[in-house]
Amino acid sequence: MLDKMVLGRYVPLDSFVHRLDPRTKIIFVFLMTIVIFFANNVITYAFLILVILGILYAAKLKLSFLLAGLKPILILLLFTFFMHLFWTKGGGTLFKLGFITVDRNGVEQGIFIMLRFVLIIILTTIMTLSTSPISLTDAIETLFRPLKKIKVPVHELALMMSIALRFIPTLMDETQKIMRAQMSRGSDMTTGSPVKRLKAIVPLLVPLFVSAFKRAEDLAVAMEVRGYRGDIGRTKYRKLHWRQADTLALLAIIPITLLILYFRN
């Protein structure tokens, strides 16, 4: 399952979304996340799904590839659904078994909240799949540059976020290798009671943490020997260019927002 993780990966393709300025994609995802929270019925969520599918088509990415990446968080999505299913009341009772009752509002809210998480995750994943970690770092640093006036270490924070994002797939691959090595030695992590599975995971965490700290140390040494001293005296080799397509992409948020607000309950 861990090898299906797509968040943090970069797929170099020649598409409209790939060619957009990374600042445009970050702002677009931020604004769309706010818009998604305004959706509250079937029409608004159906419209948002169509918008996401359109963005996916423009990025030349496969929907099956992104849906496979949702498997690692499937438990969280199901937990969110069942929490609303059993705790949200109103709209009439659909099912009752002893002290357990399922109301119409619980089913609707469970589906809507789960869809909300899925749409936000897919939208964020499209951004990471279509933008290299280096470009994201440059975009974040540029967008938050005004915070330097109040002594916020913008460059260092952007670098930390970029490195963390970059090492998500690396750590997932490392976890998969360690799991296979442990299973080849007779360890069983897929069967048995939850307590037994948790005990089987403990031998997995130690080598994973050791590997993560070793990678962090190697990266720190490599940056130090190359003379890295933050953004002091640094120049930019890569220049970000804002084009007309970036402006049009952000302006598309306006009609999307107006339609969502119009069709809200």
Find out whether 250 and 27 touch, Cβ atoms under 8 Å: yes
Position 110 scores a pLDDT of 85
Position 231 confidence tier, pLDDT thresholds 50, 70, 90: low
Backbone angles phi, psi at 70, to 5 degrees: -85, -10
DSSP one-letter code for 91: S
Look at strands 93-97 and 100-103 and give their pairing: antiparallel
Position 194 scores a pLDDT of 67
| pLDDT above 50 for 13 | yes
Position 1 scores a pLDDT of 45
| pLDDT above 70 for 217 | yes
Q: Which of 26-40, 164-178, 244-258 has the lowest mean pLDDT?
A: 164-178
Mean pLDDT of the chain: 82
Question: Residue 184: which H helix or E strand, with range?
Answer: helix 154-184
Whole-angstrom distance, CA of residue 183 vs CA of residue 178 = 9
Write the CA distances from 99 to 27, 39, 81, 87, integer angstroms.
46, 32, 19, 12
Q: Which of 15-29, 160-174, 224-238 has the lowest mean pLDDT?
A: 224-238
Q: What is the mean pLDDT of residues 9-21?
A: 89
Please compute, for residue 189, the number of CA atoms within 13 A of its CA located in the half-sphere on the CB side. 19
Position 189 scores a pLDDT of 66
Position 250 confidence tier, pLDDT thresholds 50, 70, 90: very high
pLDDT tens digit sequence for 75-119 = 888 888 888 777 777 767 766 766 677 777 778 888 888 899 999
pLDDT tens digit sequence for 38-54 = 998 899 999 999 999 99
Position 5 scores a pLDDT of 59
DSSP one-letter code for 95: E
Q: Could you tell me the sign of the dihedral formed by the alpha carbons of 48, 7, 202, 221, in that order?
A: negative
Whole-angstrom distance, CA of residue 23 vs CA of residue 145 = 12
Backbone angles phi, psi at 231, to 5 degrees: -95, 10
Residue matched to tokens 């359109």:
54
Position 2 scores a pLDDT of 46
Query: 12: left (phi > 0), else alpha (psi -120 to 50), else beta?
Result: beta
| pLDDT above 60 for 256 | yes
Cα three-residue angle 171-173-177, rounded to 5 degrees: 115
Position 233 confidence tier, pLDDT thresholds 50, 70, 90: low
Q: Which of 4-13, 69-78, 168-177, 253-262 has the lowest mean pLDDT?
A: 4-13
pLDDT tens digit sequence for 127-158 = 988 988 888 888 888 888 888 888 888 888 88
Long-range interactions of 139-147: CB distance < 8 A, separation 24+: 139/21, 139/22, 139/23, 139/25, 139/26, 139/240, 140/26, 141/231, 142/23, 142/240, 143/23, 143/26, 143/27
